[in-house]
Amino acid sequence: MKHFRLPDLGEGLPEAEIVEWRVKVGDTVEVDQVVVSVETAKAIVEVPSPWPGVVARLFGAAGDIVHTGQPLLAFEGEDEDSGTVVGELEKADEGAGEEGFIIGAAASSRQARHHRATPGVRALAERLGVNLETIQGSGPGGLITNDDVHRQASHQKTLGDAESLRGVRRTMARNMAIAHAQVVPVSIFEDADIDHWPSGTDITMRLVQAIATACEHSPAMNAWFDGDNLSRRLLDEVHVGIAVDTTEGLFVPVLRDIGNRGGKDLRKGLENLRKAVAARTIPPAEMQGATITLSNFGTLSGQYASPVVTPPQVTIVGAGTIRQKVVPHENKMAIRRILPLSVTFDHRAATGGEAARFLGALIGALQAD
């Protein structure tokens, strides 16, 4: 058989989740015919076949994780693929798919879990309806014990079965864990008086353009930091990741080179990105390469936050809900429209002074006429 392996779907992305097979065993496939839809880096990608042929085997079912370079499907005929299969193939649970195979890390992880439980413990788990993959063993070397199984069964009875994260939420969870492990975050907060803004002001565009100005005043905040080598790269262009909340999870498309583009061009670019996110057609490359991030969570609720810096970035700006507040103005107390701001930064790469100067320049740009 000739194997078709998962190609690199964009800038070295390591894996994809199978969403839907478009072919079945026995189908005749043409060159460039879509054979499977996969989700990677928060985008759904349709994968075409590089060859014509008859499908002999499907590797994986909907929901399985496939790593780049591992086989997706096999065609009838002699094997013309000189590469080696990455990872072991294991039969999936009943009903997983017509060919019933799980690929690479997913299979190896499942196999490892079962190897860390004795046959008696596995039998107990099966009788109680407990998934051993959800248990961290408390025995020697991580061995899963009867007590572990009983505790999990009790939790399931009380709380219901746990749902494994998939797709966007799985990616988000992994990225947040990496950020928590690698970043030393510090947050500072301040308010911007925007009472002079005319009705209909494009708040997001004002924030984006103010970020560009602030990066000019404090270049250390627009940088990539390599924690392993303790090296920093200051960046000339400002590419802003715009956090977009959806029912599927958090997407962060990148609005590029904001310092050299006008407001209308930026707005059009952002709308195109949001439409692509909503349609789940945004290319993975459009969500990579951000040098700084904006989280405009105030469109939903909240005043201040400590949003998460995702490496290699150094800075994320949070914008809270605009509200009326009694503040001193021209030596009098007045009710003014106030925009609360949060700046979280990686203190390994930037100093408190650099962050404070960035925030001051951000406020200055927002309060300018």
Instruction: Say which CATH number the domain at 300 has.
Output: 3.30.559.10
Note whether 278 and 138 are same-domain residues: no
* pLDDT tops 80 at residue 305: yes
244-279 pLDDT tens trace: 988 878 889 999 999 999 999 999 999 999 999 888
Q: Give the rounded percent of residues in the chain with a pLDDT score beyond 90.
A: 54
Reported as half-sphere exposure (CB side, CA atoms, 13 A), residue 204 has a value of 21
Asked whether residue 164 is assigned to any structural domain, the reply reads: no
Note whether 262 and 363 are same-domain residues: yes
When the pLDDT of each residue in the chain is averaged and rounded to a whole number, the result is: 85
Beta bridge partners of 71: 5
* 333 backbone dihedrals φ, ψ, rounded to 5°: -85, 130
Measured CA to CA, the distance from residue 202 to residue 273 in angstroms comes to 17
Scanning 19-143, the segments in alpha helix (DSSP H) are 104-115, 119-128
Note whether 352 and 210 are same-domain residues: yes
Asked whether residue 295 is assigned to any structural domain, the reply reads: yes
**Residue 13: predicted pLDDT:** 66
Asked whether residue 189 is assigned to any structural domain, the reply reads: yes
- Identify the residue with better confidence: 117 or 308: 308
* pLDDT tops 90 at residue 21: yes
**Residue 12: predicted pLDDT:** 59
Please name the helix (run of DSSP H) or strand (run of DSSP E) that holds residue 245, with its range, or none. Answer: strand 244-246
Q: What's the CATH number where 153 sits? A: 4.10.320.10
* pLDDT tops 80 at residue 113: no
The domain in which residue 96 lies consists of 2-108
Query: Which range scores top for mean pLDDT: 3-17, 118-132, 336-350?
Result: 336-350
Note whether 204 and 315 are same-domain residues: yes
Measured CA to CA, the distance from residue 238 to residue 208 in angstroms comes to 10
**Residue 292: predicted pLDDT:** 98
Mean pLDDT for 344-366 is 97
31-87 pLDDT tens trace: 999 999 888 765 778 899 998 999 999 998 888 888 888 899 999 987 655 333 333
* pLDDT tops 70 at residue 172: yes
Scanning 241-324, the segments in alpha helix (DSSP H) are 263-279
Structure tokens at 107: 């299979």
185-210 pLDDT tens trace: 999 999 999 999 999 999 999 999 99
Q: Is the pTM of this model over 0.75?
A: no
**Residue 87: predicted pLDDT:** 34
Strands 28-29 and 15-21: unpaired
* pLDDT tops 70 at residue 102: no
